[in-house]
Amino acid sequence: MERLSDILRKYYLRFFRPVSPDASGVYSSQSAELFGARLQEEIESLTGLSLNNPDLFEVALTHRSAIDLSIYSKKNFVSNERLEFLGDAVLDLVVAECLYSRFPDYDEGKLTKLRSQLVNAKTLASFARKVHLGSYLIVSDAAEAIGVRDSDTTLADAFEAVIGAIYLDSSYLSAKEFLETRILGDIDFGELTSVENNYKSVLLEYAQAHHLSIPAYTVVAEEGPSHKKVFTVSVDIGGEALGQGVGRSKKAAEQIAAQQAMTRLKTCSNTLCNSSLDSPSTPASEPESPSSPPNP
């Protein structure tokens, strides 16, 4: 039975053909004078693959501003937008598989939020910069002059297009291996999930909703060598310490401290929290004197 990945590849090549194939229906490598043997070697080094169809990667690196250049119009080239379309789908599946395996206790909502953090334009552009993809892009002189080469959108689109090219040139497994070894393997998922569980924002919103002082964070300890420091951070509201966190970075320690503070605030009674955490600038109401007559 034909696999879904093979079916997708077949129909992509049928309807979204980036260059004209030769008589045998196979993509030619005659664009070598344009693609360049040296650039081909660099792309092979970048992806860890031996390219079968260099034309695919030339298209993946071609910004739409360059397709009107005479050298490209003669070769019937198109921009990388269609490969970007395919690469986007491949990337979504690889990331979904990665998160599904790594976070077995997360529900669909949490997994979707994490995936959106990994596949947005800013994150994809950072992936592209990590492998210096911008230096390989083919853009027009006019686009170069206005900084298109290094824009987040351009880099994110090119990154997805390269993923699409890897998929077509080799296989889904090759695209998955490239993403897992060169990109996803270096992601700090602990930090990623701490962004998802942004306890500092939650604590700030709680304080504002209950008319409390703005949470204040203080580094109370800093230990270890410069390359491997450990920070201890305390958070207080209205002068009262509510939580303390320890982490490899100040941000991580602050998140843990804020989480502790939220746990305490949720477990204490409203009367206790409101009376003990009021801002010093807002004096608490004085209790009625025992001798005062009751209100009618």
Strand partners, 219: 233
Q: Of the listed 55, 88, 236, 254, which one is catalytic?
A: 88
pTM exceeds 0.75, yes or no? no
Q: Give phi and psi for 240, each to the nearest 5.
A: -105, 125
CATH topology of domain 197-277: Double Stranded RNA Binding Domain (3.30.160)
Given this model, what pLDDT does residue 37 score?
Answer: 59
Given this model, what pLDDT does residue 194 score?
Answer: 62
Are 218 and 231 in contact by the 8 Å Cβ rule? The answer is: no
Given this model, what pLDDT does residue 273 score?
Answer: 52
Given this model, what pLDDT does residue 105 score?
Answer: 87
Alpha helix (H) ranges present in the chain?
4-15, 32-35, 37-47, 54-60, 70-73, 81-102, 108-118, 121-130, 141-145, 152-169, 172-182, 189-196, 199-209, 250-267, 270-277
Given this model, what pLDDT does residue 109 score?
Answer: 84
Closest to 143 measured CA to CA, from 206, 77, 67:
67
pLDDT digits (tens, 9 = 90+) for 23-34: 333 222 333 344
Is 84 among the catalytic positions? no
Q: Which of the given ranges, 116-120, 232-236, 279-283, has the highest pLDDT on average?
A: 232-236
Are 55 and 29 in contact by the 8 Å Cβ rule? The answer is: yes
- What CATH number matches the domain at 4-191, 3.40.50.720, 1.10.580.10, 1.10.1520.10, 3.30.70.2170? 1.10.1520.10
Q: Can you give the residue ranges of every domain in the chain?
A: 4-191, 197-277
Given this model, what pLDDT does residue 242 score?
Answer: 93
- pLDDT, greater one: 50 or 8: 50
Q: Which residue has the tokens 């986007």?
A: 88
Residue 3 confidence (pLDDT) above 60: no
- pLDDT, greater one: 29 or 230: 230
Longest dimension (CA), the chain: 105
pLDDT digits (tens, 9 = 90+) for 264-285: 888 874 444 544 454 443 333 3
Closest to 114 measured CA to CA, from 59, 194, 186, 172:
194
Q: Of the listed 55, 84, 160, 278, which one is catalytic?
A: 160
Is 180 among the catalytic positions? no
Given this model, what pLDDT does residue 230 score?
Answer: 86
